[in-house]
């Protein structure tokens, strides 16, 4: 049995090698079975949150249609734009279409490669700068979701002090910070917000450094904050740990962090999580592309479109959800416009 699968794997590898050695000639040969491609940012599919949500978005499509294939690839910290472009090219030559590209660091690589493969539909998460007739920019209004959890933080704190931990100091994460501060100030204009970032680019380790997240959060809690929000990927786990040890509140990001198996021990102190529905964005794009619809352009997912939101797991927001939802509908109607720059929050 084992041997058989081994041989099979070997055979498919040989086939792969054959396709590769004739790379240019046999480009779109595999017309029968459609393949979806996902290029993840650092960390790949196995890291819960941002990257994994892209996979979660595609999974039901794969389950429904068994003939669909999936090829995946992930970024590495030493990659240059050229290297990223080469990887996207490889996926395109492997016959993947549509291809989902996760993360803004791919933008300039995609700008080049999308032109070389005009028949492939590309979707890029978190960037709307790539303008091409076959590229969809899937962007989110992170500031709106962060505004809502900022409201929750300000209504929950007893000390009037809250904290924000950003993974890497980038304009994207600044949007989370801006929305969070603005939301908190909408409840209490005098609220004190401590902010910190774990790392500076090109060191993207701040998105996956629970130890530093723990230290940063602990510092904030000891400094009087009793609610901290981390927009920092895997780093947030450290914050949840510190919160559960010190019996303070923490706020998760991207997905419902209270439901992560790894967070089972911390879930009683996770106040809420800011949802960024990368899964919806990716699923919408892939479905449209598979159905042959035109996908190009910028697709913005705000609170109104259900692209961002907050969770009520654990029931810790009891009594204040009405207020939050009320602000939410004001955001939808455009009555409240959430800033994206922390300085203007």
Partner 1 sequence: MTRSRLFWGTIAPLAAILNSLLLVYLILKFRGVDPIEMFKLMASYGFDPRNLVSELNQTVAYYMAGVAAAIGFKMLLFNIGIDGQYRMGAFFGGVVGAAVNLPPILHVVVIIITAMLAGGLWAAIAGYLKVKRGVNEVISNIMLNFIAAAIIAFLLSPSLLGILPEGSQTLQTREIPASGRMPTIKAFEGEIYTFFFIALVVGVAYWVMLNKTVFGFNLRATGLSFRAARASGVNAPRMIFITTVLSGAIAGLVGIGTLLSDTHSYSMAFPAGYAFTGLSLALLGRNHPIGIFFAAFLWSFLERSAPVLEFEGVPPEIVIVMQGTIVLSIVVAYEVVARINLRQQQRAVGSVNVESPVAKEAN
Contact positions toward partner 1, by CB under 8 A?
A: 2, 5-6, 9-10, 12-14, 16-17, 20-21, 23-24, 71-74, 76-84, 86-87, 90-91, 94, 104-105, 107-108, 126-129, 137, 139, 169-172, 199-204, 298
- Nearest approach, Cβ of residue 215 and partner 1 (Å): 15
Compare residues 174 and 217 and give the one whose CB is closer to partner 1: 174
- Nearest approach, Cβ of residue 310 and partner 1 (Å): 23
Q: Which two tokens mark 178?
A: 């801006």
- Nearest approach, Cβ of residue 249 and partner 1 (Å): 29
Compare residues 59 and 201 and give the one whose CB is closer to partner 1: 201
- Nearest approach, Cβ of residue 163 and partner 1 (Å): 21
- Nearest approach, Cβ of residue 255 and partner 1 (Å): 20
Q: Under DSSP, is residue 232 helix (H, G, I), strand (E, B) or coil?
A: coil
| CB contact at 8 A, 115 and 95 | no
Compare residues 80 and 333 and give the one whose CB is closer to partner 1: 80
| CB contact at 8 A, 275 and 53 | no
Q: Which two tokens mark 285?
A: 């794009």
Compare residues 54 and 91 and give the one whose CB is closer to partner 1: 91
Compare residues 285 and 316 and give the one whose CB is closer to partner 1: 285
Give the separation between CA 90 and CA 20, rounded to whole angstroms.
Answer: 9
Give the separation between CA 235 and CA 229, rounded to whole angstroms.
Answer: 11
**Strand residue runs (E) in the chain:** 35-40, 69-74, 96-102, 122-125, 135-140, 161-168, 192-199, 227-231, 249-254, 270-276, 297-301, 308-310
């Amino acid at each position: 049995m084992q041997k058989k699968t081994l041989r099979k794997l070997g055979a498919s590898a040989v086939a792969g090698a054959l396709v590769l050695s004739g790379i240019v000639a046999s480009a779109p040969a595999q017309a029968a079975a459609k393949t979806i491609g996902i290029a993840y940012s650092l960390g790949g599919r196995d890291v819960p949150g941002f990257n994994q949500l892209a996979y979660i978005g595609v999974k039901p499509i794969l389950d429904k249609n068994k003939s669909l294939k999936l090829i995946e690839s992930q970024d590495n910290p030493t990659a240059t734009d050229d290297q990223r472009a080469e990887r996207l090219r490889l996926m395109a030559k492997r016959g993947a279409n549509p291809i989902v590209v996760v993360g803004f660091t791919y933008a300039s690589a995609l700008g080049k490669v999308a032109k070389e493969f005009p028949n492939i539909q590309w979707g890029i998460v978190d960037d709307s700068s790539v303008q091409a007739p076959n590229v969809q920019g899937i962007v989110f209004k992170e500031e709106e979701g962060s505004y809502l959890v900022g409201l929750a933080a300000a209504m929950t704190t007893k000390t009037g002090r809250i904290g924000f931990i950003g993974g890497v100091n980038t304009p994207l994460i600044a949007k989370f910070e801006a929305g969070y501060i603005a939301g908190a100030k909408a409840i209490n204009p005098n609220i004190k917000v401590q902010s910190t970032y774990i790392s500076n680019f090109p060191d993207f380790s701040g998105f996956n450094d629970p130890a530093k997240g723990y230290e940063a959060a602990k510092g904030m809690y000891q400094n009087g904050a009793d609610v901290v929000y981390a927009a920092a990927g895997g780093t947030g786990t450290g914050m949840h740990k510190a919160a559960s040890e010190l019996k303070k509140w923490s706020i998760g990001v991207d997905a419902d962090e209270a439901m992560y198996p790894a967070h089972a021990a911390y879930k009683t102190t996770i106040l809420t999580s800011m949802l960024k529905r990368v899964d919806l964005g990716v699923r919408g794009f892939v479905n449209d592309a598979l159905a042959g619809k035109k996908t190009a352009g910028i697709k913005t997912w705000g609170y109104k479109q259900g692209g961002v939101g907050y969770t009520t797991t654990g029931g810790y927001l009891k009594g204040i959800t009405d207020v939050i939802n009320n602000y939410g509908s004001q955001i939808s109607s455009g009555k409240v416009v959430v800033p994206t720059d922390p300085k203007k929050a």
